[in-house]
Chain A
Amino acid sequence: MSYVAVVDDEEQVRTALTRLLLASGLDAESYACGEDFLGGITKRVPDCVLLDLHMPGMTGLDVLHELRRSRRALPAVVITAHNEPEAREECLAAGAVAYLCKPLDDRVLLNTISASLRRASGGHANPGER
């Protein structure tokens, strides 16, 4: 069973997303901030991370930079409630596999995660998910 980490400062959002992933047959764990997530992956490395872009303290982009710096090949799907074209480009350039805007439809979200997991395991990614 694939394990997905959810990083979002909004408790209501991370609870709901975690619940959705669990209901869809994935293993999921949530983190309230980037620092907690980066500390958590030293114990258990997720197969994919859903990463909120705008968080107090360490932002999603900071987490992406930190993952790249630590050379962790972890598929990260950036999610945001405030869509900005420049932020999308920055995130993809920083290593995000996808950039999705909230609210998130379950089919789009689950397909994006599946594609990220396939790509991480050497399969083919669906180009339409970027």
Chain B
Amino acid sequence: MDVDSASQRFLGLSGRRWRLGAIPGPLAQMLLVAVGYYAAARIGFAFTLQPHPISTLWPPNALLLAALLLAPARAWWWLLAAALPAHLLIELQSGVPTTMVLGWYVSNSSEALIGAALVRAFVPGPLRLDSLRNAGVFLLCAGLAAPLLSSFVDAGLVRLIGWGERGYWDLVSARFPSNVLAELTVGPLILAWAAVGASGLRRISFTRHAETAVMLLALLATCLMVFDLPRTSTRIAPALFCAPLPFLLWAAVRLGPAGVTTATALMTVATIWGAVNGLGPFTGSTPQDTAHEMQLFLIAASVPMLLLAVALDERSRAEREAHEQRLQLTHLARVAMLGELSGGIAHELNQPLTAILSNAQAAQHFIANKTGTPEVLSEILQDIVASDLRAGEVIRRLHTLFRRGETQFRPVDLNALVGEVLDIARGDLVTRSIEVRRHLGAEIPAVSGDRVELQQVLLNLVVNASEAMSAGTPPGRRILTVCTETQAGLVKVSVIDSGPGFTAEQHERMFEAFYTTKAQGLGLGLSISRAIMRVHDGHLWGDANPGAGASFHITLSAA
């Protein structure tokens, strides 16, 4: 049994997997919590405005809460236990009585437990700050309710044990904002980076890393100038508070929750460090007032930025998902259309295969009869090669159409595209006895588009026309005309059939999804074709011909 599986069993985690991103195994998580708690407490002590006894920012509780939110509920007790040695180690150094140290461990743990339990009640499973709802639940439960409720517990324990002279409400009012600030800066920071994980970090491009570094350096420089220089004038202080805002907005808009939480944490550290060292605008009043002013400023700055980043991230993800679904649907419709064309495709492949087989067997007969001259055999071999290449071309085109890929815009020659589409559909057109007429304009400029998706649109129009004619037009009068022309900077392709045309209701509804007049059609072809044309900034429409039949047209801008 390896160490990781042993620790999984130790914590009872052998069933459902709770790993989020690159979160290490349970024993390693306990170690991380202990070390993190100790380091966070050191930071908390360093951020205490002497002689004010309560830190401006107390991060250990927030760290513990974030760890619980990333773990299954049954592992919470072990993670809380892991924090105890770190808590004792750091608190006992400060000369506080053991009962009070243990009391603070209880109140700190209660904050983490209350926050985690409340969040878990609304968001089952590990919390990801990937939606406004999740972020809202986190802010209300972990950022507000947990510090408030645990502050009552904490003040009660302090008074019960009799440590210090401060009153109950005084203790509550000092501890609450300190812990709110920590929950709103440290908690989201840990959750956001846990969601990114080590593998996600490796996937981030060099450009994005560079952009992050530039943003953080610019923010740091701004914060140092605003919050870490000797105080000069109180008049300009309010204006200076807005100086980091552009960088926070930059992080929120461009770098997502991980970026904005990092930026907020950096600004928090720079602000408190300045005040602790008697620098920046947050000086000149009592330590308690200074702490409150800073806390309010930092909370007011971090919450909207976090919500903005999460909202933008959520919208961007929704757009990516919609794009992915469009690609999937487009691909499915293409495959379904190729399924409809399978008979014609078999026809197109059987032709060169027939030529290859008959040529090869002819050669065998010539050799057996001793009548085959080298010239004749050479000619046969050349024909076999040509037929083989033709079969390979049919397969290559099919492979391209079957393959699913991202939309790639490249210059496309629409005359050539028409030829390719008619080649793919040739078997189907021949077996349906449809005469094809091409009126391809000379010097048609290239358009910018995805070759496969544009092939899909044209193939769909050709297949529709072909099916309409074979259902309602006698052989001999089935004529498919494909034209290309240039009109006012637009390239237009028209697919005109001599079929029965369509009714006014069909004209009205033919681009609706799932509307079909075919017995076995999905009713997706035209709606997906129109969606493809929209992505290409083009248009697709259909008209009934004055005499008989229908015409469908696409227009695209010249590249």
Contact = CB atoms under 8 A, between A and B. Distances in A.
A13 B427 contact: no
Contacts of B390: 12
B380 A19 contact: yes
A69 to B, nearest CB: 16
A16 B371 contact: no
Contact of B427 (A15, A17, A82): A82
Interface in B344-378: 344, 346-348, 350-359, 361-366, 369, 371-372
Interface residues of A, number: 27
Contact of B365 (A20, A55, A103, A104): A20
Nearest to A55: B430
Contact of A102 (B343, B353, B366, B371): B353
Interface string B383-396: 10011001000000
Contacts of A35: none
Nearest to B352: A12
A37 B350 CA distance: 23
Interface in A94-116: 101-106
Interface string B497-515: 0000000000000000000
B430 A17 contact: no
Interface in B192-210: none
B353 A24 contact: no
A23 interface: yes
Contacts of B354: 10, 13, 16-17, 81, 102-104
A57 to B, nearest CB: 7
Contacts of A20: 358-359, 361-362, 365
Nearest to A11: B355
Interface in B323-355: 343-344, 346-348, 350-355
Given A15-B383, A16-B354, A81-B427, A57 B435 contact: yes
Interface of B: 343-344, 346-348, 350-359, 361-366, 369, 371-372, 380, 383, 386-387, 390, 427, 430-431, 433, 435, 475
16 contacts: A12-B352, A12-B387, A13-B354, A16-B354, A16-B357, A17-B354, A17-B358, A19-B359, A20-B362, A23-B372, A24-B362, A24-B365, A81-B350, A81-B427, A82-B427, A102-B354
Given A17-B354, A105-B357, 9 more contacts: A19-B359, A19-B380, A20-B361, A22-B362, A23-B369, A54-B433, A81-B348, A81-B354, A106-B365
Interface of A: 9-10, 12-13, 15-17, 19-20, 22-25, 54-57, 59, 81-82, 84, 101-106
